[in-house]
Amino acid sequence: MERINIATGTPWEPIAGYSRAVRIGPWVQVSGTTATGSDGKIVGVGDPYTQAIQTLKNIESALARAGAALANVVRTRIYVTNIDDWEKVGRAHGEFFSNIRPATSMVEVSRLISPEILVEIEADAFLPDAA
């Protein structure tokens, strides 16, 4: 099966050796994604709900570039720096996935790559027509 690497052009992708998303056959794996705006700055500093919304928009964009959509997502993994924010982050997740209902988990981590980042989300998608 052909492997398609999806890049966003950020300077750290080649440094760390990763892709925003990878598609192999019917599977699309989206890397840990944060609330980075088109200008490279974090959207919603101090606001976990706004960060989750931007993060999920970034995931949606990566999926589209790989030929997938949110409806194809079967699993998400949510990392938060404060588990007390679970309802805010969960509400944002629900706005994107309330009808799709992927398997998911949310875990608290001690920190993410930058102190202003409060949320990071991964997504796995399956395209049944490509199987």
Q: Could you read off the pLDDT of 60-73 as tens digits, one per residue?
A: 999 999 999 999 99
Closest CA to 34 of 73, 89, 87: 89
How many helices (H) and strands (E) in the chain? 3, 6
Closest CA to 90 of 30, 33, 49, 35: 49
Lowest mean pLDDT among 10-19, 47-56, 87-96, 108-117: 10-19
In this structure, are residues 8 and 16 in contact, taking their beta carbons and an 8 Å threshold? no
Rounded Cα distance, 107 and 109, in Å: 6
